[in-house]
Structure 1
Amino acid sequence: MAARDYGQYCAITRALELVGERWSLLIVRDLLVGPRRYGELAAGLPRIPSNILAARLKELQAAGVIRRVPHSRVIVYELTPYGRELEPVVLSLGAWGFKALGDPREEQVITPDSMTMALRTAFRPQVAATLPATAYAARVGSAGLLVRVDGPALEVTRGDGPADLAFAAGPAIHRVISGDLTPDRAIATGVVEVLHGPGDLLGRFATTFHLAA
């Protein structure tokens, strides 16, 4: 039973009853990256009260969106096939929300899973298919990601590894992705710090990952 009943017989209404409660879609967002333990979900959503997280997980399980499964001697949460059907919805919602993102507030953070989904949202496979395969080591706030682009294929994983370009940035990296700030200007103003590799590869990154604000 959904926590909220709108009293309407409508598919959009039903979808909102299933995943429209606060925090629900952010849980789905993080599980689209991969299965997560309860503690990992809590760490990725630092402002969610523990009782609300438990309630949302229970509701999403009852709706058939997620399930609990054993994994390496621990219990993790993962999306069901029905839940994974939300991926294009979440990506489209991210692209729509990007237009109203504005400048980051001081207290706002970027998590590894939120950055991973932001990159999936901004990825342009048709453009990437025309460019050489490239690996980026991106540290955005506390999120350290290895981003591999090979033709139209994108792979984003946590951690470090061999990369053609390693860079660090804050939430203002969205200005590069939106085209509001050129890669050269981003480096010159300190929005992006090149840690390793030729800085001109940031232009390739901005071409590969682009969302108009």
Structure 2
Amino acid sequence: MAIMLHPDTSADIARVSEALAMLTPRWNVRILSALAGQPLRYQEIVHEVPWLQSGQLSPKLRQLCEAGLVQRDEHSSRHVTYGHTDRAAELMTVLRLVATWAERYLGKPEQPLSAIEQIEDSLALLSGRHTAAILWVLKIRGEAGGRTLARLVMPGNEVTSVYPPLRQLVADALVDTDGMGQPYRLSASGAGLGPVLGALSAWAAGAPLPQGAQHPVWGRFKAAPAPQRWVSNQSPSQLPAPVTVPPPNRTVHAPSLAWQSGDLFSHATPPRPQALTAGGPRR
């Protein structure tokens, strides 16, 4: 994806987009959550994720191993276990921040959702093509018209190409506008993604998660309050509490990263009644 932005910002967006693309496929978050405790044997994982059809688990475990999130240990020819890598353990903290954001901003369905379902729906809102780039530009500029967004996010494409993703972001209540021809800006729920995107950016760059509070774009936020309760009987204990980070001591104006770029993984539509409510489930 070619983005006409500062090279550090463009690389940051690309890493976050790649991380979201890896997490969003169905069942990936559930498999990682199942492995949050002690390593499990294959049949034990099958018991934890019974929704997977026969033959679906093996390729997903292989993909997560290749991504550096799951470690496969062969103790003997008949004893193989799967567990988290250090990268996956850090990622669970990021997912806990996603759950906190969802509890505050995600549209409430008629039937309460589990924490995992809320995380899956939140990631689906963020994983659309060009979504991360548009959110970054609007956070940096405050507001921007469609032509400006098209020039920055989709250089070389027709200006009209930017409007389908913008319409989706407006429908998902992550972006606001006063009407056709008017500039776009982040909604309250879009701006509330600061802790999530700052931490996800730090994780994707291989930086310590507390550095998300000093992110050059998303670092100027107050710590999001913890949800008062979970919306289902499912225990959130497998998703550790987010790292508490102090607010940045200085305001960073230049959209350049404070850390070294690193590999992503361990190895090489009716209007919303309230702007504060983000889009509902995509199932």
Question: Does TM, scored on the shorter chain, surpass 0.5?
Answer: no
TM-score (norm 1): 0.43
Q: Which has the higher strand share?
A: 1
Choose between structure 1 and 2 for higher RCO, CA contacts under 8 A separated by at least 6 residues: 2
